[in-house]
Structure 1
Amino acid sequence: MKFTALIPARAGSKGVVDKNIREINGCPLIVWSIQQALDCKLISKVLVSTDSPIIASIAEKAGAIVPGLRPSYLAEDTTSTEAVMLHAAENWLNNNPDEVIVLLQPTSPLRFKNSLDKAIELFIDQQADSLVSVCESHAFFWSTPEEPQALYDYMNRQRRQDIPTEKRQYRENGSIYLTKLSILNQLKNRLGGKIAMFCMHEAESWEIDSLTDFNIVEQLMKKNGL
């Protein structure tokens, strides 16, 4: 198998203007994911999919490959990440069945050293078809505010350390996805077949969607020596 990192980064951003190239902890946001992918010994190449010449220039200077600009119809607010992956698979990876896309969203810049290597190693060891990164969640969820319904037994609220392993919950953190091209083409989805779950630290699990997120993640990056 060959592992190719794919980093999607369109120009438009409603929450934060020019989010993907806004500087965080000394580098444009997208550069963190590019550098982490380049540092991963199991990734053979790093591709950036973008509709922006400016993002393309920054990505190439950071060491990524930008084979061409993504068409405008794949850079709209409603464009799915799967559509971008399928475009890259067909146009840049020739739908090679031996390829595995390592999807890295630039809005998750905080990944510890070797996290990518460990995720890929888990994927290989479990002979998985796809992988999703998660972090443990200790939240107590409710639904339907008009008629509140607890999604847990509030009469027997457990301390986090007392929750049995088999009853612990994990949330998708958006940081790392692995997908065999055969699964992507068959299901048009990043997840399918045998799915592996890669657990990450809570600090690695922030997704940047606002200026507040930028400030929090920047402090976490500094605290963790990044």
Structure 2
Amino acid sequence: MRSLAIIPARGNSKGLPGKNIREIAGKPLIAWSIEQALESSFVTDTLVSTDSPEIADVARASGALVPFLRPSHLASDTAATEPVMLHALAEMERNRGAYDLILLLQPTSPYRTSGTIDRAFEKFVETGADSLLSVVESHAFLWQRDPVRASYDYCNRPRRQDIKPEDRRYRETGSLYLTKRQVLVEQENRLGGEIMLFEMNEKEGLEIDSLTDFVVLESIMKEALNQ
């Protein structure tokens, strides 16, 4: 199987300007995802899709392919990820032939332990799934407004250890997705067909959306590097 890793990195980040190339634990943020993809024995090509020449330069220096810059209509605040993936796939297949699997790695989730990506591929192949997403188990008690109601029975508040396996809930981390090419092209969605959950550890499920997230995750990553 030929697989394409796509790492989307828009230049105009609103929440944390310049976050994709901001240094974290000694490397630009995007470099972590690039290096993890390059280390995988399942990834054929590693591509960064960006509209920023500065990000492109950092990505190339980290070993990624950046043969084109993303068009402006795919780099707006409202642009969805799937059109970015489809554009990247079409551009790459024009010169490098067809791929079987698409791996989406979000650079804002830089902490993945050694072998995580390969384990995701192995589970994908073993289960015969059509798409896969990374998750972490969630013990959050969720509420909504108007009308106010809970996602659990607050009159019989459950303890974590008492939750049955079939009642456990999982949070989508956004760290990685695996999709068969046919599913992505036909459904224009990274998820479709037989969907499989790939559980990560809690630290791998952390995502950078703010400076606080950045500081917390950098501390975790530095600690892991020093072990």
Q: Return the TM-score normalized by structure 2.
A: 0.96
2:141 counterpart residue number: 140
Deviation at 1:110, TM superposition (A): 0.5
Structure 1: 4+ residue segments shifted above 4 A: 94-98
- Encode CA deviations 1:107-126: one digit per residue, 9 max, x unaligned: 00010111000001000001
Give yes or no for the alignment of 1:21 onto 2:50: no
2:42 counterpart residue number: 42
Counterpart of 1:14 in 2: which secondary structure? coil
Contact 1:132-1:196 within 8 A present in 2 as well: yes
Contact 1:97-1:180 within 8 A present in 2 as well: no
Give the residue type in structure 2 aligned to 1:119.
Answer: A
- Encode CA deviations 1:24-72: one digit per residue, 9 max, x unaligned: 1111100000011111111111000011111111101111001111111
Contact 1:129-1:195 within 8 A present in 2 as well: yes
- Encode CA deviations 1:1-22: one digit per residue, 9 max, x unaligned: 2121110001011011111001
Deviation at 1:157, TM superposition (A): 1.1
Contact 1:97-1:182 within 8 A present in 2 as well: no
Deviation at 1:79, TM superposition (A): 0.6
Contact 2:134-2:198 within 8 A present in 1 as well: yes
Pairing of 1:79-90 with structure 2 (within 5 A): 79-90=79-90
Deviation at 1:223, TM superposition (A): 2.2
Change (3 A) 1:70 1:98: closer
Gaps of 5+ in 2: none
Sequence identity, in percent? 55
Deviation at 1:98, TM superposition (A): 4.4
Q: Return the TM-score normalized by structure 1.
A: 0.96
Give yes or no for the alignment of 1:224 onto 2:220: no
1:93 counterpart residue number: 93
Q: Distance in 1 between matches of 2:93 and 2:47?
A: 10
Give yes or no for the alignment of 1:129 onto 2:111: no
Gaps of 5+ in 1: none
Deviation at 1:167, TM superposition (A): 0.4
Contact 1:96-1:181 within 8 A present in 2 as well: no
Deviation at 1:155, TM superposition (A): 1.3
Counterpart of 1:93 in 2: which secondary structure? helix
Report how many aligned residue pairs link the two structures. 225
Give the residue type in structure 2 aligned to 1:106.
Answer: P
- Encode CA deviations 1:59-104: one digit per residue, 9 max, x unaligned: 0111100111111111100111001001011111249664211000
Contact 1:93-1:99 within 8 A present in 2 as well: no
What RMSD over aligned residues (CA atoms) do the two structures have, in Å? 1.4
Q: Distance in 2 between matches of 1:96 and 1:61?
A: 24
Counterpart of 1:92 in 2: which secondary structure? helix
Give yes or no for the alignment of 1:9 onto 2:20: no
